[in-house]
Amino acid sequence: METQATNVDAKVTANSTETAATPRPRKALGIALACTAGICWGISGVAASALFHHNHAITPLWVSQVRMTIAGLIMILVSLTQGESVAIWRNKRDALQLVMYGLLGLIPVQLFYFNAVHAGNPSIATILQFLGPFVIAFYYILFHHQLPTRSEVIGMVLAFGGTLLIITHGHFNTLAVSGAVLFWGGLSAIGVATNTLLPRALLRKYGSFATTGWGLLVAGLSLNVFGPVWSNPVHLAAPDWLLMSVIIVIGTLLAFILFAISLKHILPTTASLLDAFEPLSATVFSIIFLGISLSGMDIVGGVLIILAVMALAMDFRAIHWFRKRS
């Protein structure tokens, strides 16, 4: 790995003028937004878990269809009020990229993850999905010859270790992964990468609301190919409506907006890595609302994730003893 700080400064993302030397205020804002998005996704996961247990007629496909379609429509309406339009569909190349974002980014991140949970358990599914940052790092290494910075490497190791402790309670030898879990979990990890990388150019050109809204709508409507939502009517009681509202408003609308905006200020590897706040927040809210007890491993894992965020925010290039001569 190249260790000179001048070469770290030259690291840029594909089709972007953003560099690793992003001004600290912008980077701090991006980190805060991505962390909050992770917390929102954690809340959504707890709500979805409660929903699946309360109403067995509700499937991962149905939840994904409903949440993405409704959230997409709301975001599109908001984009119209902000002056953003349907111009994205007038450019064939951008329209194709938008469809790819919906099909190859948003669907794997949501539906494939829930399928992995259904085939196995949330612990294994979350571990596999959290491999997304590694997929992104591999993409940059393979296609752009860009090695990760020291802070990203340290943060990646700490966050992955912390997440692993939280979702397994340290009992690593008890994990049993079936072929179905590996398949869906692996696809969801790739989805984390594509969901992070695909919309970046569209976000800069058309804005967060229009891009994310149309992407969600494309993804939600496309899922009807696998099972029309109207062919599986589901009766929702009052608690089900409340949980679905949390999933749509907090876990979809707010989470995707915050994450999309964060990509304007930080690198994809950094933003995707901060998804570690999802299992952390899911653990905390599970304790509060589902009565799950907190183990020592949960505490250790949470500390590691916080340290990972600190590593991302720290400018190692300013520390003299980290500099080496090639």
- Residue 295: Cβ within 10 Å count: 15
Q: What is the pLDDT of residue 219?
A: 95
239: which residues sit within 8 A by CB, 6+ positions away? 54
pLDDT of residue 66: 92
Low-confidence ranges of the chain (pLDDT < 70): 1-23, 84, 120-124, 127, 172-178, 268-269, 272-273, 275, 292-295, 309-310, 312-326
> Hey, how many other C-beta atoms are within 10 angstroms of the C-beta on 233?
8
Question: Is residue 268 within 8 Å of residue 196, measured between CB atoms?
Answer: yes
CA dihedral for 204, 208, 214, 219, sign (positive or negative): positive
pLDDT digit string, tens, across residues 46-84:
888 788 888 888 889 998 999 999 999 999 998 888 776
- pLDDT of amino acid 22: 57
pTM: 0.74
Residue type, 152: E
pLDDT at position 240 is 92
Beta-bridge partners for 12: 19
Concatenated DSSP letters for 146-159?
A: -PPPHHHHHHHHHH
302 Cβ neighbours under 8 A, 6+ residues apart: 162, 166, 280, 283
Interatomic CA distance for residues 276 and 159, integer angstroms: 6
What sign does the dihedral 197-248-63-231 (CA atoms) show? negative
Question: What local confidence, expressed as pLDDT, does residue 23 receive?
Answer: 67
User: Tens digits of per-residue pLDDT, 213-243?
Assistant: 999 999 999 999 988 888 777 888 999 999 9
Evaluate whether 178 touches 315 at the Cβ level (below 8 Å). Answer: no
Distance between CA atoms of 143 and 204, rounded to whole angstroms?
A: 22
Token pair in block for residue 140: 């940059």
How is residue 261 written in tokens? 């905006």
Sign, Cα dihedral of 76, 82, 83, 84: negative
Tell me how far the alpha carbon of residue 258 is from its chain's centroid: 11
What angle do helix axes 122-129 and 179-197 make, rounded to 10 degrees?
Answer: 40
- Tracing tokens 């829930």 back to the chain, one arrives at 114
